[in-house]
Amino acid sequence: MVATQPVDFRRGMNGLVALVASALAADPYLCVERDYVAEPVSAPAEACQNLEFSATYYFLPLGRVRDPPAPLFRRGNMLEFYFLYRGVLKRLRSGVLGGEMDRLAEHFFTLGYKRASAKIYLSRIARFSRFAGTRCGPMPIHQDVVDSYLRTFPTDTPRIGAMSALGHARRVAPERFIISVPSEEDDPDAPLLASFSDYLRRVRGLEPKSREGVLLGGRRFLDWCRHHHPGQDIEALTAKQVLAAVEYRLSLSTTSGSRTAATSHIRTFLRFLYWAGRHHQDLARIVPRTPSWRLAHLPPRLAWDDVRHAIDAIGATTPVGIRDRAVLLLLATTGIRNGELRAIRLRDIDWHTGEVFVRRTKGKRDRVVPLLEETGAALADYILRARPRVDSPYLFLSFTPPVGPFKCAAPVSRIVRKRLRHGGVELGRVAGAHLLRHSLATQLVGQRRPINEVADLLGHRSINTTALYVKVAASQLAEVALPFPGGVA
């Protein structure tokens, strides 16, 4: 709704305040855009006394405030959405990246950045654009120019801000930058680790997340070798040196799981060296195996009443609250993993059958989980009232710019921890999405649900994995306990 009305500025800003107040009194759900364009009336004598102000109002549910939609501006003229003065626009469009500034403005708008944040980023990029224009002219920007610009900042804070802004410029206009390939002097282990990564993908068939951990273990092993035996080629590696490296890695591990992972990663890297012909011996055979017994620990879990209380404590009055309630309900009632929740797409929900299709799980198998009525209602409420209106197929999106799907496990874990703490739940070391998974499995086993049904819901290939939760079913264990010797109960 666009309202144009004379505003008397002889009383200062009170005239504008009166206009806004009257509009909000008529409709309290109006969101008033803060940028106004003043146009003088035809009579010059009245120009200083009475100005015509065009104000645009946008109706938004839940009282949410956001910028006006992009169609109000031409696609190649998005920079004018953030800046109005011609002199500022001319200065922003000067320099090496001047022709890309409208694309960058559209980029920030699409990602959901607030107007003030986008203006800061655009100003930083324009400042670099003028600097680069004095160094390389119209030629593509080399990394040396970027490094020279970053060295002009005396402190870390503006330097980090400039690096963040230039990261956006590289993503939007990669053709304007010359990508420098790291030399072997910068990272002498890069070619070997690249071959190791290819081996893990092609030969071992590991997923990207699994490859990251093994690659990190290989890099740490190489770093130890170069630190303790500088200048020595990897082909001259001895069994004594391998054992010393393993001993060092084990000294830094505090749990049985981290010790097992450390030795496994070193063993995998040594097998790769032998397989690729980088070493004449299979030194993986001398790496000791650390003891790790299955089912030796109890799964961390919460009482189901605590989980229920934490979910009920989430207020569904804000978009973030609506999303977080849907996230916790979906995790707590289906037992899906963090990565599986982030991978759910809108088309994966079958509203007619009340099911969610979970794709590419940990076991590389797709499965279907049931959707309870309460959970389905929470998901529908989130999609209809709270989900950001961006072009993304994924179900759950971040409200923090750049608006989009969760790229890693940390945001989902933070949501779970935050909501559990707000619900008065005391948390230990493990407090992410997996804590709700353990709690659901424990609750189902305690309700005497068949163990194979629990395994199917959780996506376990083997019932032995699900048997871990039987250890905490105290009532069932008491029924099969043998009498204490001597007749004492």
CA–CA separation, 86 vs 94, rounded Å? Answer: 12
Longest C-alpha distance within the chain, in Å? 110
Active site residue 469: yes
Nearest of 107, 149, 142, 99 to residue 124 by alpha carbon: 149
Active site residue 337: yes
Exposure b/e, 393-412, CB count within 10 A at least 16 = b = ebbbbbeeeebbbbeebebb
- Could you say which of 362, 367, 385, 471 is catalytic? 362
Active site residue 434: yes
Residue 2 main-chain phi, psi, to 5 deg: -110, 125
**CB-neighbour burial class of residue 33 (10 A; exposed 0-12, middle 13-18, buried 19+):** middle
- Could you say which of 279, 337, 342, 438 is catalytic? 337
**CB-neighbour burial class of residue 436 (10 A; exposed 0-12, middle 13-18, buried 19+):** buried
Active site residue 135: no
- Paired with 30 in beta bridges are 59
- Paired with 350 in beta bridges are 355
Confirm if 51 and 9 have CB atoms less than 8 A apart: yes
CA distances from 126 to 81, 385, 424 (A): 16, 37, 48
**CB-neighbour burial class of residue 211 (10 A; exposed 0-12, middle 13-18, buried 19+):** middle
CA–CA separation, 22 vs 91, rounded Å? Answer: 38
Active site residue 57: no
| Residue found by looking up tokens 């559209």 in the block | 106
- Paired with 137 in beta bridges are none
- Residue 383 has what DSSP assignment? I
- Could you say which of 267, 279, 325, 434 is catalytic? 434
- Could you say which of 249, 267, 342, 437 is catalytic? 437
Q: How many CB atoms lie within 10 A of CB 232?
A: 13
Give the residue numbers marked as catalytic.
337, 362, 434, 437, 460, 469
